[in-house]
Structure 1
Amino acid sequence: MATQLADQFIEALQKLESDHDVDTIVSLFADDCEVGNLVSNEKFHGTDEARKFWTHYRETFGDVHSTFQNKIINDHTVALEWTTEGDNGKGQDVSYRGVSILETNGDKVVRFFAYFDPKALGQQVQQA
């Protein structure tokens, strides 16, 4: 089940990035999920806050696209190694790499956390 959910997550993220479709990615999360990353001081709980998290992610960039170099999957955990490239909405290129951990329960993500260098990303996003 985790393998299928990992593939669905990748497809949903790419749909979010290309079409601004937040609904598809949020539908993969459990009602009591927890979502976060190294940039946000808060953790987002539940699907309404997951929607807020993913909307903010997409609004951070102009064009954006993630590619996945590696997937490590066991019964209830997925690790995705990725590179995200695009622009900051102001004409400056953005490129950063990281790893996302998804904890799953059946066909839902119960916890998502992304690890990357927030300083490098912040400098790229804020360039005028």
Structure 2
Amino acid sequence: MAMERAQRFVDALARLEEDGELDALVELFGEDAQVSNVASHRTFQGREGARHFWREYKGMLRQVKSTFRNMIEAGDRVALEWESNGTAHNGAAVAYEGVSIIEWDGESIVRFQAYFDPRVLGQELSQGTAPRSEAPATAPA
């Protein structure tokens, strides 16, 4: 199946976002995995590092759901173009988009790196001030 690994990751992420199920996602990572994103000041190492990274991701937002516009799988590499929408703990709507690159070694992820504009996410989380956080206009009754 051409997109098997990409779909395994997407399905495991959906379980984390919907139900808080962390283990299915963490089990995809190898013991030597490197996990990070552009907002992080560190690279998380190994399966336990992946657990910490994804626990922080889920804990950052009250509610979140990612949708995927493009999933590209070539050899041992997967590129996912996504948009995540949710609600911050302060009640602000959050929407940000980016690309994740995943490198596999057999059945295990050895490197995960997410790229997005951290300024947009930071504004939305802290103040609800990014343009996409504005409440939609309601039609007069």
Partner of 1:56: 56
Correspondence 1:81 to 2:81: yes
* Aligned CA-pair RMSD: 1.2
Per the alignment, in what secondary structure is the counterpart of residue 122 of structure 1?
A: helix
Unaligned residue ranges in structure 1 (runs of 5+): none
Alignment of 1:93-108 (within 5 A): 93-108=93-108
* Greater RCO, 1 or 2 (C-alpha within 8 Å, sep 6+): 1
Shift of 1:44: 0.4
Whose Rg is larger?
Answer: 2
Query: 1:3 maps to which residue?
Result: 3
Distance 2:2 2:66 in 1: 20
Superposed displacement of residue 126, structure 1? 1.1
* Displacement after TM superposition at 1:120 (Å): 0.5
In 1, Cα distance between equivalents of 2:15 and 2:32: 23
Determine helix, strand or coil for the equivalent of 2:4: helix
Q: In the alignment, is the contact (CA less than 8 A) between 1:2 and 1:75 conserved in 2?
A: no
How far apart are the structure 2 equivalents of 1:89 and 1:112? 26
Scaled by the length of structure 1, the TM-score of the pair is 0.96
Partner of 1:15: 15
Match of 1:119 in 2: 119
Which has the higher mean CA deviation after the structures are superposed, 1-10 or 26-35? Answer: 1-10
The match for 2:69 is 69
Tell me how many residue pairs correspond in the alignment.
Answer: 128
